[in-house]
Chain A
């Protein structure tokens, strides 16, 4: 089955950012496809490549590796990004900064769009 994932909360603040990742990993392990991950609102902060938590999971790196390994389209919402000063230079590789239209397309082209937030 084709899944899309919407992430609505930031890293190291709310479990949603972790739950989304665990769900995505489990879906891949079950043989499903993750068509795209859309980071919205504070969710855009999950792709900041400069985060450096000491001796911890690195949430942005984890997503980047996931996208690389499973060929997943990761999009940070352009509005959410502008509001928070998240630019292409700050985001990890593989992340596109694009509009909410991408979320609409994700809803249309997947069998399930699952949201993780507060």
Chain B
């Protein structure tokens, strides 16, 4: 199952509650305001590191670029919409919105 998260992890608990459900190994895609989780140096660093230990994590490039985010946590793969589509082909989707 692909879990997708579209909320800022500092403003909302979506990422945190997603991570207690999503089984280890299931991919997680950050998009829309969910991409703020990929920013290094925020209070959510530890949560995101924990996520990276358990899941392949992707962040949508168009949303990163739109928000001017540059300092991204390494290990998160920056992907285009084409890869988003591939992930949906490879997995069913649970939008954790």
* Chain B residues within 8 Å of chain A by Cβ, number: 18
Q: How many residues of A contact B (CB 8 A)?
A: 19
Binds A, one of B19-27, B51-59, B80-88: B80-88
Within 8 A of A (CB), among B9-50: 31-33
Which B residues contact A (CB, under 8 angstroms)? 6, 31-33, 62-63, 80-82, 84-86, 88-89, 92-93, 95, 97
Query: When A22-B62, A29-B82 are in contact, do A1 and B97 touch as well, CB less than 8 Å?
Result: no
Q: Bound complex: CA of A25 vs CA of B97, how far in Å?
A: 22
Give chain B residues whose Cβ lies under 8 Å from the Cβ of A30.
82, 85-86
Q: Which residues of A contact B80 (CB under 8 A)?
A: 26
Does A1 contact B95, Cβ atoms closer than 8 Å? no
B interface: dominant SS:
helix
Given A114-B93, A115-B95, A19:B86 Cβ within 8 A: no
* A19 in contact with B32 (CB, 8 Å): yes
A15-B32, A27-B88 known; 12 new pairs, CB 8 Å cut-off, are A16-B32, A19-B32, A22-B62, A23-B85, A25-B81, A30-B86, A32-B89, A112-B89, A112-B93, A114-B93, A115-B97, A116-B95
Cα–Cα distance between A103 and B84 once the two chains are bound (Å) = 22
CB distance from A16 to the nearest CB of B (A): 7
Q: Which residues of A contact B (CB under 8 A)?
A: 1, 3, 15-16, 19, 22-23, 25-27, 29-30, 32, 112, 114-118
